[in-house]
Structure 1
Amino acid sequence: MEGLNRAFLKLHYMREHPVFILWSTVYFVSFGKIQNEGQSAGNHMNNLGSSETTREAITLDYKKIFEGWLIGFAEGDGGFSIDKRGYLVFKVTQSSVDAQVLFYIKKELGFGSVTVQSKLNKTHQYRVRDKDNLLKIINIFNGKHIVTVRYVISQKDDVEFSKLLANLIDGYVTHIKSYDGYNTVVNFGKLNKILNYLHNYPLKTKKHVSYLRWLKVYHLVKDKKHLTESGIEIIKDKIKFINK
């Protein structure tokens, strides 16, 4: 079970950020009901109480999912460190192109600062230095910050994680001799789990644009456009721009 939890945490990091479509849907359903004519005050209050309970449950779920994402995201692009003056700092770094993710973290947590880290390298950072807010961050991470290496798609140091991830998404693991690493591979026909996951929890950074471009290629192949010469040319052209 710990291994699966670990895989889920890193999957959170790999897809970057959850957008809670279901949350907003439930929210508007709960508070958008039209009261029937002649409904008693008592019934109205009961419904209100029910709505309040629903709202609290949704808020707690939102917070839990955000914290789970933050742990995985920080394990890839940040963490705790000691600065030059000997003070504890929590920091998450991103390319300046994706600085909006850092502002999102600040907004959700309600504290911290976002600043330019390096004009030369074009990076921004989210940083927490004061004791009270560091304790809040520590309470979120306490007992859950369990991954010691940064994982992307290919793993050089931990084949066990690759196997767990492969099992989670109905894939398999291959060994790449050129750099002595492992790739987690998913067959085309078994991509639904990943697609559903990314549909429910869309990417937040510029990788979302790359994903949407890749998704167009996926649908072209799914529609068997790759079986014609003209279709292959269209696909090749779109592939060139996936990461542009």
Structure 2
Amino acid sequence: MKNINNINNRDFTNKRLIGKLLPWQVTGLTDGEGGFICSISHTGKGLTGYSVKLEFKVTQKTHSEGILHELKEYFGCGNVVIDNRSTDTMKFQVKSIKDILEKVIPHFVEYPCLTSKFLNFRDWKEIATIISKKEHLTNEGLDKIKNISSFMNSKRPFEDKYNHCKSFLGFSVLADGKYNINYNLPPHWVQAFLDGESSFYTYVSDKTENIIVNSSLEIGQNSHDIFILLALKKFFNGGYIKPKYKYEDILECLNSRLVNRFILRETETIINFVENYPLLTRKHLDYLDWKKIVELKKTKQHLNAEGLDLIKLIRSGLNSNRDSK
């Protein structure tokens, strides 16, 4: 039987027997893989002829289903169900309006999302309040909900998401031209956010006389959330953002790549953080293999054919390739 508590030999499809999710970990998971959903469907029944339903969800691949059961345990409600068979994903969901009002909303009021998902939560919370007053059963209330939901998630303007993160995280340009973020990311939020949004990469080139092996941690976000990447740069006191442009200029941000990336090559910084804040999903196995590559390079084993072949073999099983091995 597998030891589901030993982080180096865990079955991530099961929740941990020892250890409970902490509040900022829950928010970090949500910022990475969560959503606040409002669906309006025509039923032909009642005064309005429409039904309004809310859902809070967090998704994971089936190989990391255990963290979803930990979310169910944390909130004391909801269910873990199949999300999408074609993508092999499961989800933790809460649909009960009573649980949403009494358990989900209070959590995110105290531990708010740090990405632009905060705006979806804010609007979702307003809709929940309308439903709690049964105003959604009237045409006036339904119209109000339709208007609010018409700006949620992918329908929200780029400018709104950009400006919220810029303001909330306290972005400014200093006199010397350097960028500043006032907000200090909570370590447990970073820990869980890495589970959803990070990748452990190693670049290998042996086509020249100089063999190159560079390992990094990379985190991608839509450009409207550029400021969370700058906050991560501050948190790790290193790394860089790609592409580089004037982040204070919304037009440059809008015209940059759809996905901006924070890239951290300081491997000791990465290792020190993850050793103190182990990843909660199967992505931790990617970290462990990535760390092996870092250690092989540190002992200069990449400079001989056998060591380089081993690095390439380990790299071939990282991230999305792990499932195909």
What interval of TM-score do these two structures reach, taking the shorter chain for normalisation?
A: 0.5 to 0.7
Unaligned runs of 5+ residues in structure 1 are: 1-18, 25-61
- After TM superposition, give the deviation of residue 96 of structure 1 in Å: 2.1
CA contact (8 A) 2:81 2:92 kept: yes
Residue 154 of structure 1 corresponds to 220
Q: 1:228 to 1:148 in 2, by over 3 A?
A: same
Q: Do residues 138 (structure 1) and 206 (structure 2) align?
A: no
Return the alpha-carbon distance in structure 1 between the equivalents of residues 256 and 36 of structure 2.
33
Return the alpha-carbon distance in structure 1 between the equivalents of residues 268 and 221 of structure 2.
23
Q: Map 1:1-244 to 2 at 5 A.
A: 66-83=22-39, 84=41, 85-135=51-101, 136-142=103-109, 144-148=112-116, 153-157=219-223, 158-169=225-236, 170-175=238-243, 179=257, 181-187=259-265, 190-243=266-319, 244=322
Deviation track 1:22-79 (CA, whole Å, cap 9, x = no partner) reads x97xxxxxxxxxxxxxxxxxxxxxxxxxxxxxxxxxxxxx77xx11111121122222
Percent identity of the aligned residues? Answer: 28
SS of the residue aligned with 1:126? strand
Return the alpha-carbon distance in structure 1 between the equivalents of residues 104 and 227 of structure 2.
29
CA contact (8 A) 1:226 1:232 kept: yes
CA contact (8 A) 1:101 1:205 kept: yes
In the comparison of the two structures, how many residue pairs are matched?
A: 183
Give TM-score, length-normalised by structure 1: 0.64
Q: CA RMSD in A?
A: 3.0
Return the alpha-carbon distance in structure 1 between the equivalents of residues 37 and 226 of structure 2.
28
The structure with the greater share of residues assigned to helix is 1
Runs of 4+ in 1 over 4 A off after TM superposition: 149-152, 176-181
Deviates more, 1:174-183 or 1:108-117: 174-183
The structure with the greater share of residues assigned to strand is 2
Deviation track 1:103-141 (CA, whole Å, cap 9, x = no partner) reads 111122222111123334322221112233212110110
Which amino acid in the other structure matches residue 154 of structure 1? G
CA contact (8 A) 1:175 1:181 kept: no
